Structure 1
Amino acid sequence: MRGFLLVATANDAGDDSSLRRLESRRFTYKELKMITNNFQRVLGQGGFGYVYSGFLEDGTQVAVKLRSHSSKQGVKEFLAEAQILTRIHHMNLVSMIGYCMDGEYMALVYEYMSEGTLQEHIEGSNRNGACLSWPQRLRIALESSQGLEYLHKGCNPPLIHRDVKATNILLNAKLEARIADFGLSKAFNSNDPHVSTNTLVGTPGYVDPEYQATMKPTTKSDVYSFGVVLLELVTGKPAILREPEPINIIWWARRQLAQGNIEAVVDGRMRGDYDVNLVWKVADIALKCTAHSSLQRPTMTDVVIQLHECIELENGRAAGDYANNFYTGSSNNDPNMSYDAYTTDQSSIMSRNSTAFDTEHNLRREPTMPTGPAAR
């Protein structure tokens, strides 16, 4: 999603007093129609509805998402996202330009992200059809992790995103990454990282099985989801593979990597233009993030550190200084970052009422993972 306009029924709109403290610009619905040329150009579609392109008076391009009346998400999510985006500011989080709460209409207006979602690039449906290079994938991974780390560590109170996925990572013209869509985010007490909820939220393929079992999301739930995104960046495949039968990317990648078959995992569209040892390292990080037990997962700070190291190694490789820096397993001494996390029984503990979530976690016990290939 590149920004959005929310439309609610008159009964949903309610009192806008909670938005009066917002520092961003307040638009009227008439202004939004002018900005979008009567919602003429569609950029995409998200959970709230359609996303439209618009231009402010000074020529600045913005993105506006129109909430359909049939959307199950409404004023609660609107208020949550508006209030969160007013108080958080980070280079790797999407910026809110303004909002509208005009009669039956509600709106949020975002900065325009010309390259769309990470999902579009992974699946090859972006406009130019170009394949992301390995250095670009590493940078997107690092920048996305920095945005999540800020939510977990830099906000007061800290926040759990709860819907980290490739469609909620946006890219600008320089392919710089921004985390978006904070309508499901929850604040938590830093002394008690658990948040009790009555409703399971998230997207099949990305949802932490421990959160599903306990209904208590934590920052490690975001780490799990981010691990899935990392696997998508490495493989170029979706979170749930559909052929020959539906299978979670985590189970598929573990099965391949347990055989030492990194070439079968990495996205073939990169045509071998990567260092196999760095691919192993990123795959290693991803599978640690998706460990069944949250205690075995790294923090987002750990992930940021590891991805910074990957960037440095990639830069060294590009400069010709990489010959002796091959990857032989985790470079982190944290005992929670061990390969034991891969061998945990991954039997489904997802909601018995949701076949979609049952399918996504149809995982099995895997043999101990290898620690990477011999140096090349």
Structure 2
Amino acid sequence: MNNSVKSHKEMKNDGHRTEKDGYGNSPLGLETRQFTYIELERITNNFRRVLGKGGFGNVYEGSLEDGTQVAVKIRSKSSNQGDKEFLTEVQILTLIHHKNLVSMIGYCKDGEHMALVYEFMSEGTLEEHISGKGNNAVCLAWRQRLRIAVESAQGLEYLHKGCNPPLVHRDVKATNILLNAKLEAKIADFGLSKAFHHNDDTHVSTNRIVGTPGYVDPDYQTTWRATSKSDVYSFGIVLLVLVTGKPPILRTPHTISIIEWVQQRLAQGNIEGVVDVRIHGDHDINSMWKAAVIALKCTTEALAERPTMTDVVAQLQECLNLEEELADGGSDSGIYNGINSDDINWTDDAYSTNKSTNSSQRDALETEHNFDRVPTMDTGPAVR
């Protein structure tokens, strides 16, 4: 929240919202700024510049009174997301704070108009950079992709471990990872998120399946039970997209999942056939292979065999360390030196991919695992 909001909250308020300054006690009981629709028209210059489009509606560029750039997400009349999803996102963004989660500045619930105002992420979505279709899209180097993966994983780790009660996002995908001017990654779009009722709950039962095709956990689709491992699966798909530069579902010309496509090539030891051909410059081939193996572990069919986001953060940080060593003067022979039990250590006995994985694939990817890392998070203010 900006300083003007904080200073205003320190003042005695009679509970009546004034049109003059746009502040006041929220009818939702939330400690955040409430905008009128007229104010949104003003700060977006009559919704002049569209930053993006989603299931909720368009996102517009805006500027507050002090010059702070913001993004304004307006619910469209055709949106299938109603009051419930909107209020969920408002409440969650009010309560959670982490450097790798998009921060909310305020919201609008003015008659039939509903909108979210959040921090401006100038470089758009990860999807735009991977597909090359965004206005500011540039091809990301492997080191940049790894850093984005680590930061996104840290954001999800906070939702799962740093929130009380824990949260499951349920719509982790490349379009919900936003990048700022420094290409720092932040998780966005919490309208479909669910909180566990108790800290010891293992799942959240839902009355409908939500998410994006290609990213949705098959176990969640079967059981209608969302868990933190559902987010892990979706993040694994994001990681495969980062490695390959390809969408979650490929048509080559037959429809095939990105998981199967990567498995087939890694089973043959063909990591270069997996990596996005647009990646140029120096990179450590072992860190690429390791990242691909981590992604496949995240997307294994059995929930118990998937790592936690804490595990994923630790392993991706090791991948990034390999790249940092290369940047500091190390050399990469371009030859895969092999992943052994010292490279990736999981909590189960052996690597196991989806049921479709054959024995040669398991031989190519099998590793042993053993984690004892304590979660470390830049959490900011505690969840209220």
| TM-score of the superposed pair, with normalisation by structure 1 | 0.85
Q: Check 1:303–1:68 CA distance in 2 against 1; reply closer, same or farther (3 A cut).
A: same
Which residue is 1:282 aligned to?
Answer: 291
Which residue is 1:334 aligned to?
Answer: 346
- Residue deviations 1:272-306 (CA, integer Å, cap 9, x gap): 63211110000010000000111110000000010
- Residue deviations 1:27-68 (CA, integer Å, cap 9, x gap): 111100101111111111011111111110111111112211
Number of residue equivalences: 338
Match of 2:109, SS state, is strand
Gaps of 5+ in 2: 1-24, 367-384
- Residue deviations 1:217-264 (CA, integer Å, cap 9, x gap): 100000000000000000000111123122110111111111111111
Which residue is 2:355 aligned to?
Answer: 345
Q: Check 1:364–1:81 CA distance in 2 against 1; reply closer, same or farther (3 A cut).
A: farther
- Partners of 1:37 and 1:335 in 2: CA distance: 53
Maintained 8 Å contact 2:283/2:332:
no
- Residue deviations 1:162-182 (CA, integer Å, cap 9, x gap): 000000000000000000000
Match of 1:269, SS state, is coil
2:380 counterpart of 1:370: no
- Partners of 2:308 and 2:349 in 1: CA distance: 10
Match of 1:221, SS state, is helix
2:272 counterpart of 1:263: yes
- Partners of 2:291 and 2:322 in 1: CA distance: 12
Give the Å deviation of 1:364.
8.2
- Residue deviations 1:189-214 (CA, integer Å, cap 9, x gap): 22122111110011100011111111
2:304 counterpart of 1:303: no
Q: How does 1:225-236 map to 2 (within 5 A)?
A: 225-236=234-245
2:110 counterpart of 1:102: yes
Match of 2:319, SS state, is helix
Q: Check 1:47–1:19 CA distance in 2 against 1; reply closer, same or farther (3 A cut).
A: farther
Maintained 8 Å contact 1:88/1:155:
yes
Give the Å deviation of 1:345.
1.6
Which residue is 1:350 aligned to?
Answer: none
Match of 1:336, SS state, is coil
Maintained 8 Å contact 1:296/1:337:
no
Maintained 8 Å contact 1:298/1:337:
no
Maintained 8 Å contact 2:287/2:320:
no
Match of 1:89, SS state, is coil
Query: Alignment RMSD, CA only?
Result: 2.1
Give the Å deviation of 1:22.
1.4
Maintained 8 Å contact 1:19/1:79:
no
Q: Check 1:318–1:19 CA distance in 2 against 1; reply closer, same or farther (3 A cut).
A: farther
Tell me which amino acid in the other structure corresponds to 1:105.
H
Q: Check 1:100–1:335 CA distance in 2 against 1; reply closer, same or farther (3 A cut).
A: closer
Give the Å deviation of 1:321.
4.0
Match of 2:364, SS state, is coil
Match of 1:241, SS state, is strand
- Partners of 1:131 and 1:180 in 2: CA distance: 21
Which residue is 2:154 aligned to?
Answer: 146
Maintained 8 Å contact 1:297/1:336:
no
Tell me which amino acid in the other structure corresponds to 1:308.
Q
Gaps of 5+ in 1: 1-16, 347-362
1:250 to 254, 259, 269: 259
Identity %: 65
Match of 1:136, SS state, is helix
- Partners of 1:77 and 1:364 in 2: CA distance: 41
2:66 to 58, 70, 75: 58
- Residue deviations 1:82-120 (CA, integer Å, cap 9, x gap): 000001000000000001111221221010100000000
| TM-score of the superposed pair, with normalisation by structure 2 | 0.84
Q: Check 1:131–1:22 CA distance in 2 against 1; reply closer, same or farther (3 A cut).
A: same
- Partners of 2:68 and 2:226 in 1: CA distance: 37
Q: Check 1:80–1:283 CA distance in 2 against 1; reply closer, same or farther (3 A cut).
A: same
Give the Å deviation of 1:326.
5.1
Maintained 8 Å contact 1:36/1:54:
yes
Tell me which amino acid in the other structure corresponds to 2:348.
N
